[in-house]
Amino acid sequence: MGFEAPRGMRDFLPEDMRIRNWIFDTWRTCAELSSFDQYDACVVESQELFVRKAGEEVIDQIYAFKDKSERELALRPEMTPSLGRLINSQGKALSLPAKWFGIFQCFRYERMVLGRKREHYQWNLDIVGQADVTAEAEVLRTAILALQRFGITSDIVKIKIGSRKLLSELLEKLKFDLSHFMDACLVLDKRGKVEDAVLKEMLVAKGVANTEIDTLFRVLEIKDLLDAEVILGHDSIALKEIKKLFQLMEMSGYGNFLVFDVAVIRGLAYYTGIVFEGFDVKGRHRAIFGGGRYDNLLASLGGDSQPCVGMGFGDVVIYELMKDEGLIKNAGKQVDVVIAYMDSSGEGVAVKAACECRKSNISVNLSLEPQKPKKIFSQADKFGASFVYLIGQEEAKSESGSLKNLKTGEQVIVNLAQLVEFIKKVN
Amino acid sequence: MGFEAPRGMRDFLPEDMRIRNWIFDTWRTCAELSSFDQYDACVVESQELFVRKAGEEVIDQIYAFKDKSERELALRPEMTPSLGRLINSQGKALSLPAKWFGIFQCFRYERMVLGRKREHYQWNLDIVGQADVTAEAEVLRTAILALQRFGITSDIVKIKIGSRKLLSELLEKLKFDLSHFMDACLVLDKRGKVEDAVLKEMLVAKGVANTEIDTLFRVLEIKDLLDAEVILGHDSIALKEIKKLFQLMEMSGYGNFLVFDVAVIRGLAYYTGIVFEGFDVKGRHRAIFGGGRYDNLLASLGGDSQPCVGMGFGDVVIYELMKDEGLIKNAGKQVDVVIAYMDSSGEGVAVKAACECRKSNISVNLSLEPQKPKKIFSQADKFGASFVYLIGQEEAKSESGSLKNLKTGEQVIVNLAQLVEFIKKVN
């Protein structure tokens, strides 16, 4: 038996975990600063929760299995359907708008290309019950709050803003048959990854007429909201919404993060309005986060109809990007004090000292056997300790030890009873 | 389609999640105070990692499935084999002793009795590379640190300490055939849950002779270490170890948490020495946590032999116990400020105020549409807010709002530019 994780699955050794904790803690902090409530559901869901009519890739890539009672289960490929299930389960009891967040492991059985993994974690933010684009703005503000805490500026990442509603209005105006709209969306989502010629073939295969394909690609040439306004006039609802979103983000001081992109679609079938996608300006990576409005999902899952906006922000791409940009914090181990003893006579004082410190929120690496000073200090260095409390034979007799401040080099004999107070004063 | 989670799986609505976060955060804090390093591995593992010779229940209860390449995978039933895999993968690069922790979702396909779930989270602490019982003491101290932070005293929870090594020495001395030792352990683990008569039948079925069964039950009558010493004399290594553990815990100030119980076995095949089990004194619940020494597991997984001690502490029983004892903290939502506007003229100030506050680590619930004061203050109450910052038409003109301190009732007009400073000063 090898020591590797199963293909596509990730291990987190302590040095990786410290970075993951930094990312997850930042996500949670930013969500809480924006008053989102955390929730969770099990990674195992019923397969039927993920069944949708549209031919999404996600559905083909599900880890599905049966339990011993032949229940058809799945490891969730994304969180939104589970969110919908939970929201629906609350019915009228839920006070709206509900702002919910979580950090969720999701699985996709993909071909293993370029080290792409089969599981990742995803920070999800969702707002249920707010039809205004103030909801989109709130989600984007919170995502940007996290970007900024990661040290990422609008020179490094920008957010493409599109709108399925706007695209649909444009196509309708230009006589595109809207019965092919969803096919078009799912095909266009591959734009940039596959050649336009290939996309056209895919559209033909879906029964889209060549003249319509031309219309579609003509619309994709639209570069800004003014171009769209020329076609749609001033009364377009989709245009008003997207303009208001840009305005709100400008007010928030985040206007420089946003760019309009008529061709942003996102690959999930359930989006109905504004869609967005964070990307690195240098184009080295896949999308950093993505989301949009999905006003029909709750009803399609059997609940009451509610306007919803959501975002998913994965842990893999942001990590790669921060690595590229030299933004990964030096995440060495950090402990306040190393407590050690040179022979067994010091063990009792060491143990008591460790317990007292920990009770007072001072973190302690306690030696589990007698050790030589050289090893103790090299450990203290490795653990990033601020202090070493070392109990020798002489000190043990008087329930005391030698406390060395590793920053100043200062060394004093400190009694067990005074140790906590002493460390708290200096630290 | 229903809105329920699949059978045996748990959802965490925000009010549940706040309690779960409190439990998980406490676990993480206590592990970090004791200088354990966090790690993680995927909940999906290879089935073969969990294959063991001994007839453990855990193995029969695995969620097993094949992926699209016919790989035999499993949702982990426990974490220790994955820990072993990761430790083994590090080989000589790992500096010892290694103190690792994590909080892990684990799955067991059990019959659904008494609301017992099929997944739970478990706090694991492990120390690799320390043969002395100082390792057991360190794990137990850290578990007790968490109990105390949950408000649990030694009147509510005690920890049974046993030793497979001691039991084996006792049985050998009394001429029990040790080739049946592991069968005996796995059967005895059910003691208290099934009648002794049934246990005896199970032992007979495993080929244990009746005279040996009598010996076994005679040994289980041993009430304290003195009784054991009468049989084993002063040279027993197992007895010395267990005595030292009691001594170390006494030194730590935690002696009153421990009781000796020769019959504590734990249901996992890999334990080799001291085993322990936290239980509620009133006997209302299953074990709160359990663990012990497993010196042979790493080698059995293909790695170098290393002495190891570990503990698993589940989230379900501790929650039930804290509920019984009235120890669940009132975990209402907490937000610093509710920021709201009465008509759209105030939206810009509200948005800017929210962004400034959040950047300064002040958490904000921002209204996403104009609202009436009555609704705003009732929301603020529900969110446990300290302040309401309300922008009316008049205030909006001067980029300011009315800030109400909900504790004192004090209300002042505060300019947007001064808001953060003002809140930080008062809060």
Q: Is the pLDDT of residue A269 over 90?
A: no
Contact B368 A138 (CB under 8 A): yes
Which of A13, A71, A333 has the CB atom closest to B7's CB atom? A71
pLDDT tens track for A17-59: 999 999 999 999 999 999 999 999 999 999 999 987 666 777 7
pLDDT tens track for A191-242: 888 899 999 999 999 999 999 999 999 999 999 999 999 999 999 999 999 9
Q: Please give the average per-residue pLDDT across A375-403, as a whole number.
A: 96
| C-alpha to C-alpha distance for B99 and B31, rounded to whole angstroms | 9
Which of B12, B46, B354 has the CB atom closest to A39's CB atom? B12
Closest-CA residue in chain A for B362? A33
Q: Which residue has the higher pLDDT, A188 or A85?
A: A85
Which of B1, B109, B368 has the CB atom closest to A135's CB atom? B368
Contact B11 A42 (CB under 8 A): yes
Residues of chain A in contact with residue B248, where contact means CB-CB under 8 angstroms, are 347, 351
SS3 B166: helix
Are A269 and A182 spatial neighbours (Cβ–Cβ below 8 Å)? Answer: yes
Q: Please give the average per-residue pLDDT across A61-71, as a whole number.
A: 88
Residues of chain B in contact with residue A251, where contact means CB-CB under 8 angstroms, are 347-348, 351-352
Residues of chain B in contact with residue A10, where contact means CB-CB under 8 angstroms, are 41-42
pLDDT tens track for A280-313: 999 999 999 999 999 999 999 999 999 999 999 9
- Nearest C-alpha neighbor of A340 from the set A402, A420, A423, A419: A402
Interface of A with B in 8-47 (CB under 8 A): 9-14, 17-18, 20-21, 30, 32-35, 37-46
Closest-CA residue in chain B for A71? B6
Residues of chain A in contact with residue B37, where contact means CB-CB under 8 angstroms, are 14, 17, 333
How is domain A14-329 classified at the architecture level of CATH?
2-Layer Sandwich (3.30)
Ramachandran bin of B384, using left for φ above 0, alpha for ψ from -120 to 50, beta for the remaining angles: left
Same fold, A14-329 and A333-426: no
Tokens 């352990």 sit at which residue?
B185
| B253: contact with A, CB 8 A cutoff | yes
CA B215 to chain A, closest CA, distance in angstroms equals 37
pLDDT at position B53 is 65
Are A146 and A224 spatial neighbours (Cβ–Cβ below 8 Å)? Answer: no
pLDDT at position A278 is 98
SS3 B288: coil
| B68: contact with A, CB 8 A cutoff | yes
Interface of B with A in 129-188 (CB under 8 A): 130, 132, 134-135, 137-138, 141, 145, 148
pLDDT at position B112 is 62
Which of A41, A351, A361 has the CB atom closest to B252's CB atom? A351
Interface of A with B in 192-221 (CB under 8 A): none
Are B296 and B305 spatial neighbours (Cβ–Cβ below 8 Å)? Answer: yes
CA B40 to chain A, closest CA, distance in angstroms equals 5
Residues of chain B in contact with residue A364, where contact means CB-CB under 8 angstroms, are 33-35
- Nearest C-alpha neighbor of B84 from the set B297, B268, B295: B297
pLDDT at position A51 is 84
pLDDT at position B426 is 84
Q: Which residue has the higher pLDDT, B111 or A100?
A: A100
Which of A89, A253, A352 has the CB atom closest to B355's CB atom? A253
Residues of chain B in contact with residue A103, where contact means CB-CB under 8 angstroms, are none
| C-alpha to C-alpha distance for A243 and A165, rounded to whole angstroms | 13
pLDDT tens track for B128-164: 999 999 999 999 999 999 999 999 999 999 999 999 9
Which of B5, B39, B127 has the CB atom closest to A41's CB atom? B5
Record the tokens describing residue B158, joined without a space.
């005690």
Residues of chain B in contact with residue A100, where contact means CB-CB under 8 angstroms, are 14
| C-alpha to C-alpha distance for A125 and A32, rounded to whole angstroms | 11
Mutation to test the B interface, candidates A7, A67, A88, A367, most B Cβ within 10 Å = A67
Residues of chain A in contact with residue B12, where contact means CB-CB under 8 angstroms, are 39-41
DSSP-derived letter for residue A257 is: G
Interface of B with A in 73-112 (CB under 8 A): 73, 75, 85-86, 88-90, 95, 97, 100, 102, 105, 107, 109
CA A45 to chain B, closest CA, distance in angstroms equals 6
Residues of chain B in contact with residue A333, where contact means CB-CB under 8 angstroms, are 37
Q: Which residues pair with A127 in a beta bridge?
A: A99, A309
Residues of chain A in contact with residue B383, where contact means CB-CB under 8 angstroms, are 35
| A347: contact with B, CB 8 A cutoff | yes
Contact B253 A97 (CB under 8 A): no
pLDDT at position B114 is 62
Are A164 and A273 spatial neighbours (Cβ–Cβ below 8 Å)? Answer: yes
pLDDT at position B329 is 78
pLDDT tens track for A332-348: 889 999 999 999 999 99
How is domain B333-426 classified at the architecture level of CATH?
3-Layer(aba) Sandwich (3.40)
| B63: contact with A, CB 8 A cutoff | yes
Which of B3, B132, B251 has the CB atom closest to A351's CB atom? B251
DSSP-derived letter for residue A252 is: T
Here the contacts of B186-189 (C-beta below 8 Å, separation 24 or greater) are: B186/B54, B186/B55, B186/B56, B186/B265, B186/B267, B186/B269, B188/B216, B188/B220, B188/B263, B188/B265, B189/B265, B189/B266, B189/B267
- Nearest C-alpha neighbor of B364 from the set B283, B306, B427, B320: B427
* CA distances from residue A33 to A117, B85, B333 in whole angstroms, order as listed: 31, 38, 12
Which stretches in chain B have pLDDT values below 70? Answer: 1, 53-55, 112-115
Angle CA A374–A377–A382, to nearest 5: 125
SS3 A68: coil
Tell me the domain boundaries of chain B: 14-329, 333-426
pTM: 0.96
Residue B58 half-sphere exposure toward CB, CA atoms < 13 A:
26
Average pLDDT score over chain A: 94
| B348: contact with A, CB 8 A cutoff | yes
- Nearest C-alpha neighbor of A122 from the set A58, A167, A198: A58
For A202, phi and psi rounded to 5 degrees?
-65, -40
- Total CB pairs under 8 A between chain A and B: 235
pLDDT at position A57 is 72
ipTM entry: 0.95
For A285, phi and psi rounded to 5 degrees?
-130, 165
| C-alpha to C-alpha distance for B266 and B188, rounded to whole angstroms | 9
| C-alpha to C-alpha distance for B279 and A265, rounded to whole angstroms | 55
